[in-house]
Amino acid sequence: MKVLVCIKQVVDHKVKIRIKPDRSGVDIADCKLSINPFDEIAVEEAVRLKEQGQIEEIIVVSIGGVRVTDALRTALALGADRGVHVSTDSLLAPLTVAKTLAAIARIEQPALILAGKQAIDDDCNQTGQMLAALLAWPQATNASTLILSEDALQVIREMDGGMETLCLQLPAVVTTDLRLNTPRNISLPNIMKAKKKPLTEMTLQQLGIDPTSRLTLLKVSEPPQRAPGIVVTDVDALIHKLKNEAKVV
pLDDT of residue 28: 80
Q: What one-character-per-residue DSSP string does 86-100 give?
A: EE--S---HHHHHHH
pLDDT of residue 218: 85
Q: What is the mean pLDDT of residues 223-242?
A: 86
The overall average pLDDT reported for the chain is 90
φ, ψ of residue 14 to 5 degrees: the values are: -90, -5
Q: Tell me what percent of the residues of the chain surpass a pLDDT of 90.
A: 63
Looking at 89-98, 181-190, 213-222, which range is the least confident one? Answer: 213-222
212: left (phi over 0), alpha (psi -120 to 50) or beta: beta
Taking only the tens place, the pLDDT of each residue in 152-186 is: 899 999 888 889 999 999 999 999 999 999 999 99
Q: Tell me what percent of the residues of the chain surpass a pLDDT of 70.
A: 98
| Banded model confidence at residue 246, pLDDT cuts 50, 70, 90 | low
Q: What is the mean pLDDT of residues 107-112?
A: 94
Looking at 78-82, 96-100, 146-150, 183-187, which range is the least confident one? Answer: 146-150
This prediction's pTM: 0.84
Asked whether residue 189 carries a pLDDT value surpassing 60, the answer given is yes
pLDDT of residue 113: 96
| Domains of the chain (ranges, CATH numbers) | 2-215 (3.40.50.620)
Taking only the tens place, the pLDDT of each residue in 8-38 is: 999 888 888 888 888 887 878 778 889 999 9
Distance CA 112, CA 131 (A): 12
pLDDT of residue 228: 84
- Give the relative orientation of helices 127-135 and 94-108 as an angle to the nearest 10 degrees: 50
Q: Specify which of 78-82, 208-212, 225-229 reaches the highest per-range mean pLDDT.
A: 78-82
Q: 57, 177, 51: which is closest to 111 by C-alpha?
A: 57
| Banded model confidence at residue 249, pLDDT cuts 50, 70, 90 | very low
Radius of gyration of the chain (CA): 22
| Banded model confidence at residue 133, pLDDT cuts 50, 70, 90 | very high
What separation in angstroms does the CA of 182 have from each of 50, 98, 172? 16, 26, 23
